[in-house]
Chain A
């Protein structure tokens, strides 16, 4: 349980809030690169951390993320004309460049220099991998570019999707570190999903339904280890790294691609669930890519032309009671992604944590909240930069491994938990 004050502190990310300021210390995913496919293409409306913005790619291929509303009388620049090195408001013709600087006010004499005094707020937008990343904080405090492995391996080795989730970012992210729900909610998928089935480690999951958890802090966040009994007095470990503020990776299965997530606030009652799959050392196969695009694994199917899942709260997530009865799916909902989002959205737009009854297996969640709270307060009160901004914290991997019983996983898996270029993931 959390007090209302702490719940508010952790869940609110509008400008000027402590957690909002914290998110503004990082490079965060803003759009899929394919949303801005070519120079002078249509601008895209983007809402992030409670700010309404417009993303565009100008005639020279420069990406911009600027205030959505024209500085003249506030019309949306989504209607704008993206042409000749800038975005022109169609109302009275004011024109802005990719930084938000006004570069033309047709009604004023050019020599007056009036337009130089007008500037919209603008953030950098940089393509790394399949994603356009932004940093919405102070330019002076800008961290180095992100180096997450999934975004930096060659394009044929990686796949990223995003889906709109209609609830606060924190309850969505907590699902990513809540290892104890997997044995229930997703239990139907282990043997059927093309991106899971057939892994050697699955037998331990299915044989030992009651894993034991170890939560260990790392410099950038946490490692959450779940262990199950394996042969000959050994443990089968599945280790999930969490890097602040909202990056998680699922432990691998066999040689399947490894998946993970970013949860990014749109506003306090909506977030983007970013999902990726990649293989550190090989191209994804044709079958894998087809499965990923079809919404298997941690991805989903969409309402055509949108990033809203096809199964959403307006259709009760296409609940199938018969499948629930047959045990094909545990909750009756198809697909891992929507199994999660359906329950997380049902908790309410912003989960009321004053009423929850946590138990000791929720320690991963308790520790993550504790770290977030401490970091947000240290930033607010002392200007201390939060963990997760530097490459040492970002070069993490999830691990699945069988270890002797008396080995602490953080020590024994030190190398496996770190990105090693050219070396594949440690998996069973």
Chain B
């Protein structure tokens, strides 16, 4: 290593990874607001989600899949999936995915596989990252495993959390 490449000032490279150097780090916002969309796939998941929708989020949208019956993915177009916002008004998947950076599929006792597939499929076509978050609170291991197995093909990250309080923890970590 040639000597002329040695740093000359305290702040000029990794050599200066000290407490004194830390004050040279520039403070400025280094990211734009994210566009996050959270979809609750079942009733339990919706309850966990509604408990936190009030918090001050950075533009995250919270949606519930309201269909009772089974969704057949091949027969369900993008805007055929019934969605509802926290105040009860309907929403369109095509609009919600517009410009989204991340889709979070929230599920608990029931996987609602058909609806998960429709959302994941549409997100995939738009190159949007899909995260599956399964809440184990109050559910048996078999149930959780069944839900996780259904979500696995559709998601690029899958998390099994034992407590509902992981939902806000994850969302704030991701600047949702």
Footprint of B on A, CB under 8 Å? 1-2, 166-167, 212-217, 269, 313-319, 342, 345-350, 352, 355, 357-363, 366-367, 369-370, 374, 405-406, 408, 410-411
Q: Which residues of B contact A317 (CB under 8 A)?
A: 14
Partner of B174, one of A166, A360, A370: A360
Q: Are B1 and A366 in contact (CB under 8 A)?
A: no
Q: Which residues of B contact A363 (CB under 8 A)?
A: 131, 157, 159, 170
Q: Are B162 and A217 in contact (CB under 8 A)?
A: yes
B1-45: which residues lie under 8 A (CB-CB) from chain A? 1, 6-7, 13-19, 21-22, 25, 27, 30-31
The 10 sampled A-B contact pairs (Cβ below 8 Å) are A212-B155, A215-B158, A217-B161, A348-B22, A349-B18, A360-B156, A360-B157, A360-B174, A367-B161, A410-B160
Q: How far is the CB of A53 from chain B (nearest CB, A)?
A: 23
Q: Which residues of B contact A349 (CB under 8 A)?
A: 17-19, 22
Q: Is B126 an interface residue (CB 8 A)?
A: no
Q: Are B160 and A215 in contact (CB under 8 A)?
A: yes
Q: Is B166 an interface residue (CB 8 A)?
A: yes
Partner of A316, one of B13, B152, B161, B169: B13
Chain A to chain B: the 5 pairs with minimum beta-carbon distance, closest first:
A366-B173, A370-B169, A214-B158, A360-B131, A360-B157
Q: How far is the CB of B16 from chain A (nearest CB, A)?
A: 8
Assembly CA distance A313 to B169 (angstroms): 34
Partner of B17, one of A167, A358, A362: A167
Assembly CA distance A269 to B170 (angstroms): 27
- Apart from A349-B22, A369-B169, list 7 A-B contacts with CB within 8 A: A214-B157, A317-B14, A349-B19, A359-B174, A366-B170, A369-B173, A405-B152
Considering only CB atoms, which chain A residue lies closest to B170 in the complex?
Answer: A366
Q: Which residues of B contact A346 (CB under 8 A)?
A: 14, 17
Assembly CA distance A357 to B161 (angstroms): 22
Q: Which residues of A contact B170 (CB under 8 A)?
A: 363, 366-367, 370
Q: How far is the CB of B138 from chain A (nearest CB, A)?
A: 15
Considering only CB atoms, which chain B residue lies closest to A407 in the complex?
Answer: B149
Q: Are B166 and A370 in contact (CB under 8 A)?
A: yes
- Number of B interface residues at 8 Å Cβ cutoff, please give it: 43
Considering only CB atoms, which chain A residue lies closest to B168 in the complex?
Answer: A370
Footprint of A on B, CB under 8 Å? 1, 6-7, 13-19, 21-22, 25, 27, 30-31, 102, 129, 131, 136, 141, 145, 148-149, 152-153, 155-163, 165-166, 169-170, 172-175
Q: Which residues of A contact B152 (CB under 8 A)?
A: 214, 405-406
Q: Are B174 and A318 in contact (CB under 8 A)?
A: no
Partner of A1, one of B15, B149, B173: B173
Considering only CB atoms, which chain A residue lies closest to B103 in the complex?
Answer: A360
Q: Are A357 and B14 in contact (CB under 8 A)?
A: no
Assembly CA distance A352 to B14 (angstroms): 16
Q: Are B25 and A214 in contact (CB under 8 A)?
A: no
Considering only CB atoms, which chain B residue lies closest to A358 in the complex?
Answer: B173
Q: How far is the CB of A280 from chain B (nearest CB, A)?
A: 27
Assembly CA distance A317 to B17 (angstroms): 12
Partner of B25, one of A315, A348, A359: A348
Q: A346-B14, A370-B166 are in contact. Are A1 and B175 (CB under 8 A)?
A: yes
Q: Are A408 and B148 in contact (CB under 8 A)?
A: yes
Q: A359-B129, A363-B131, A363-B170 are in contact. Are A316 and B14 (CB under 8 A)?
A: yes
Q: Which residues of B contact A411 (CB under 8 A)?
A: 141, 145
Q: Which residues of B contact A361 (CB under 8 A)?
A: 156-157
Considering only CB atoms, which chain A residue lies closest to B34 in the complex?
Answer: A357
Assembly CA distance A408 to B156 (angstroms): 15
Assembly CA distance A1 to B161 (angstroms): 19
Assembly CA distance A316 to B5 (angstroms): 10
Q: Are A313 and B15 in contact (CB under 8 A)?
A: yes
Q: Are B169 and A358 in contact (CB under 8 A)?
A: no
Q: How far is the CB of B68 from chain A (nearest CB, A)?
A: 26
